[in-house]
Amino acid sequence: MKLATGWLALLAAISGAAQAGSPVSGKDAFEARCSACHAESGWATRVLKRRLPGDQAVLARRTGLTGAFVKVVVRHGTGSMPQIRKAELDDGTLDAIARYLEGPK
């Protein structure tokens, strides 16, 4: 039992280190750069609720989002969402955000 607990602690330490080593977490970047508008009660969520059902309006919970769609929307803007240029959000960070939104929720 003691040995098993030790292994779990070691595994947790290793996976923690792997996460710290990656340049940016998509979730953190989304929260920093998008959730001012796209949080549960954000302006964008309210706008999207006018034409999308419930959970689909909350990007962090929507299923079926593709990374390619997210990138096009961010770089070109859509409806009342302004475009976000490379100078404001670099490609690497946008990639991480797109992977996070595309992934399983």
| Residues in contact with ligand HEC by the rule CB under 6 A | 33-34, 36-38, 43-44, 47-48, 59, 70, 73-74, 78-82, 84, 89, 97
- Nearer to ligand HEC by Cβ, of 6 and 77: the residue is 77
Q: How far apart are CA 1 and CA 6, in angstroms?
A: 9
Nearest to 103 by CA among 20, 34, 1, 26: 26
Q: How far apart are CA 96 and CA 15, in angstroms?
A: 18
- Nearer to ligand HEC by Cβ, of 13 and 52: the residue is 52
- Nearer to ligand HEC by Cβ, of 24 and 81: the residue is 81
CB of 19 to ligand HEC, least distance (A): 21
> At a CB cut-off of 8 Å and minimum separation 6, what does 79 contact?
47
